[in-house]
Structures are given as C-alpha cells and as structure tokens.
Amino acid sequence: MKVGIVGLGLIGGSMAIDLKRKGFAQKIVGVEADPVNASAAQKIGLVDDIVSLDECVAECDIVVLAVPVGAAVRLLSNVLDAYQAAQSEDKVVIDVCSTKEMLAESVKYHPHRKQYVATHPMAGTEYSGPWAAMPGLFDGHACIICDAQESSSNAVRKVEALYDVLNMRTIYMNSSNHDVHTAYVSHISHVTSFALALTVLEKEKDEKHIFDLASGGFSSTVRLAKSNPDMWVPILTQNKENVLHVMDTYIEKMNAFRQAIADGDEQSIRGLIEEANRIRRIIR
Amino acid sequence: MKVGIVGLGLIGGSMAIDLKRKGFAQKIVGVEADPVNASAAQKIGLVDDIVSLDECVAECDIVVLAVPVGAAVRLLSNVLDAYQAAQSEDKVVIDVCSTKEMLAESVKYHPHRKQYVATHPMAGTEYSGPWAAMPGLFDGHACIICDAQESSSNAVRKVEALYDVLNMRTIYMNSSNHDVHTAYVSHISHVTSFALALTVLEKEKDEKHIFDLASGGFSSTVRLAKSNPDMWVPILTQNKENVLHVMDTYIEKMNAFRQAIADGDEQSIRGLIEEANRIRRIIR
C-alpha cells in the first residue's frame, strides 16, 4: 500500500510514523506547502519523499488530507477531480478535520464522491508542526467516520483497516450530528481555554506570578489555549452555529455561578458544583 | 518532631506520608471529624494515631490545619487559645488553605498570633479524601507563605524546614495579594471547569457521546470540575470580591469571542487566539 499525506503537521506526521512503523504502508509520500515544514519532515524521516499534490494523487492508494479544514475543502475537490480525470475508481481520499458538514456539502454531487471517506480521529495535543508528530498518538482514542453510506463499501473497508492499525475505535455518525457533538465536547473547551488565557494574561500583568502560582490545575485548564490559530479559525468559522449555541449555554452557566457567588448563596454554589461533579461518572 | 494533622484528606494525608517517610516527623497524629475517613486513614497507615484536637495540640510541635477554609477559621482560634491557656510559646500551627485574608483577619489581634504561619502549598489533584493521598504530591511546586512578618522568625524557620522536606519552593506574599493572585490563576480555572461540565452535561443528554467523543483536550479542561464542594464553596465565598472581578473579565473575553464568531470575523478570531497563545511562553 502507498499512502500520501497532505500536510505534515501533528496529525499527518503522527499518522505517517505509525502507518509506516506498523507495516500498513510500504511507502509514504508527503505533500507540504510550507518549505520549512517540508524540510523538517524529511529530516525527521516522517516520509520517504516530498512530492507535488498531482504526483501524490497519481501514485498513492490512499491520500490523507491532514490540513486545516478551509484548505481541505479546496483540496478534496481537486483530488476527486484528478480521480475522475484519470478514470481511477479504486483510490481513496480521506480528511481528518474537526468539522464535517461543509466538506460533505462541497462534494455532495461529485461523480467520484464514493471514493472519499470523511473521518475525524479524536486525538491530538496542543502542539503543531512536523516536530510535534509522535508515535502512538492515536492509540485507544475514538475515530468518527461520517456519512459512511455516501462512500463505497470498499473505500470504507480500507479506511477502517487504516484506523484499526492506528489502534482507534471507530464510531459512525452523520456530518451534521458530528458537528453538533464536537461543538459540545471539543470546540467549546478550546474556546473556554482561549478565554481563560486572555483573562489571566490581562489581569495578571506580572508573568512571573503566573509562572510561580500556576498549579497543575491551572496548567491543565489553560493547556488548549496554546492551540494553533491556523487550525482553529476555520473550525470556529465553519461550525459557527453549533459553537455559538453551546457558547450561549456556557455563558448562561457562568452568569448563574456569578450570581450565586455575588449573592453569597452557599447553597446554590454547592448545588452547581455538585451538578458539575456528575462529570466524574463519565470522564475518568 | 511530632506533627499533628487536622483533616486527613488529599493535602493532609499526602503531607503525613512524606513528613514521615522523609524523617521530618518521628510521630504523626491525626484529627479527623469524619469517622469513615478516620478509619480509612488508620487502615492506610497515614498516621500513627487518631486523637482529639486537644490531645493533638498538647502533644505536637507543629499542628497542620488541612481542612476547608471555613472550618480552618474556627479551628485556628481554638488552637491559639489552647497555646495561650497552656502558656506554650514554642509550638506552631499552620493552615494550608487557598484563601488567606479572612484567616489573617480572624487572629490579627490574638496574643499568640506569632505562633501561626499562614501557608498555601500550591499542589493538589481533583480527588479528595484519605485514599487520594499520595507520596510526592508537593514535589517541585510552589508554597506561598503569607504575612511572614506577623509570625515569629522561629515559627517561620520551622515551617520553611517542613516545606523544604516536601521539596517545595517558598514564595512570600501578604494575604491580600495572595487572594488576588490565586483568584486570577487558580480559582477562576475551577469556575470555568465547573461551568464547562454543567454546559456539556446539559447540552449532551447522551452521556455515551461524551464518553466516546471526549478527547484528551476536553478531559484536561474539565478535570477540575470533579473538585469537592466542601473545599470550593468556602473558597468562592471567602474570596468573593476577587473571584467576581476576574469572572467579569472572563465573561467579557467570552463575549468578545462570541461576537467575533457571530460576525464571522476571521481576523478578530485569529487575533484573540494569537493573544491567548502568549500563555505558551509562561506555561510549559
């Protein structure tokens, strides 16, 4: 199997490492627009070759679009067009983006739609770039496959095999539900971390104090605020309605908390904390 | 040295383990109002004996009040009164609470004030109770000593030696500044986690989805929402003004984010994320 990875950042790079290491891919080529990242990826040995997108599509059995979702929308059409031009029916292209509906819409009527499988491996760190790539990043996490009925069963089987090699649990969902649930469980926690970092940086002018006083609790809560804007601007823009909906609920909860504290209403504060504690049953 | 620990939860229990293990205390006794926790602490072997508060104060060179801050305010006066009644001048009592001003006020004019040292070891986990105690909990973290000039230098030296054994860096601050800075860096991140848990639990009715979709990012951001109300209700109540002040800034930042997303204003979203990314320079 030859695998092409477009975008050699944290996700693309980590996939390259494990797909090669575990023997799923005999050869891995990379496409990388940023020359610094391309050189780094080659130096680290993430890929066998850096090639153009055209070469990658022509050469590879599976192409992975591991780029921010705005770029993925453009590239996905290009890849399917190339499959059409080459009368290729067996090759498969996947994306790994955190929002799905706009991608799904963009190729809904493409004659080669069946060769695209929409996937979202739910793993990552707050770091980015080829130097952030690591073996085992995906182990034990969930991977969502969206709109599987829109892809050929042959394509879905190949992609399931790929994620199986990465030790991921596969979950099936349609794009629209995917975007609702990821807004609730993933996107909102990035926004709350960004807002927390902005608050602390504004209130605590002396960075030495932040450094000295930051316990493990603060560090873990603010960790996602290190996340890359190239990835997050398009996610928050594309999943706008769902993200706004969940932000509104969040702001309501903050205001309820604020009111209880302002009133010195210990019983209400306790009630809110006990309710929040229910998360213990779900998150270990 | 005999050390008495009042409150055998995460902090008190973890102190007991390391002070004994590292030879700082030849004997450790515990005071624990909850009979289940008392039995557990003895069974686990956290302390040599469970005793009454009076026995503990009479017997020990250092008494550690490791209880929620509401209870600490009451107990601190009791301990200093007992020192006065026994005409003891050499014994030392410390607290380990996350808010300091109310404690400082409560004993400001006590004739034995100099035997009290206000301390805040900035370490913990989201778990509580004697079974959450662990060796090495404090290693490498900061410990704030408040209002050191109000304590006798002899008392401060003893307490510095204790935290030195626990491998903590000591920082000095007055109570009022302590409460401002901990509101900014610690208390707010608990409130944002509680609000995040409340939001996700309300929006995502199907707990299976939360379980399936929670990536490492969500888990770390929501982790503090597991924190114990017995500890956090008094903190948020006692540090009310500072907490409200920082919550207001936080809600402002969330609203700015919301507006930028609602406007589809990619440049503003990027600006906010890049500003938030500055936290990278401070938190590793």
pTM of the model: 0.88
pLDDT tens digit sequence for B252-279? 999 999 999 999 999 999 999 999 999 9
Q: What is the ipTM of this complex?
A: 0.89
pLDDT at B124: 86
Average pLDDT over residues A22-40: 96
> CB contact, 8 Å: A282 with chain B?
yes
Q: How many helices (H) and strands (E) does chain A have?
A: 13, 8
Residue A242: pLDDT band with limits 50, 70, 90: very high
Return all residues near B174 (Cβ < 8 A) that are at least 6 apart. Answer: B146, B147
Which A residues in the span 218-237 are in contact with B, Cβ-Cβ below 8 Å? 218-227, 229, 232-233, 236-237
> Chain A partners of B226 at a C-beta cutoff of 8 Å?
277, 279-280, 283
What are the structure tokens assigned to B251, written together? Answer: 């809600």
Q: Tell which residue, B141, B158, B153, has the closest CA to residue B94.
A: B158
pLDDT tens digit sequence for B123-163? 988 888 999 999 999 999 999 999 999 999 999 999 999 99
pLDDT at A210: 79
Average pLDDT over residues A62-82: 96
> CB contact, 8 Å: A264 with chain B?
yes
> CB contact, 8 Å: B244 with chain A?
yes
- Could you give the 3-state DSSP secondary structure of residue A120? strand
pLDDT at A185: 87
Q: What gap in Å lies between CA A71 and CA A102, rounded to an integer?
A: 12
Domains of chain B listed by start with CATH number = 2-173 (3.40.50.720), 178-281 (1.10.3660.10)
> CB contact, 8 Å: B58 with chain A?
no
Task: Please state whether beta strands B49-50 and A2-6 pair in parallel, antiparallel, or not at all (unpaired).
Answer: unpaired
Q: How many helices (H) and strands (E) does chain B have?
A: 13, 8
Segments of chain B scoring below 70 in pLDDT: none
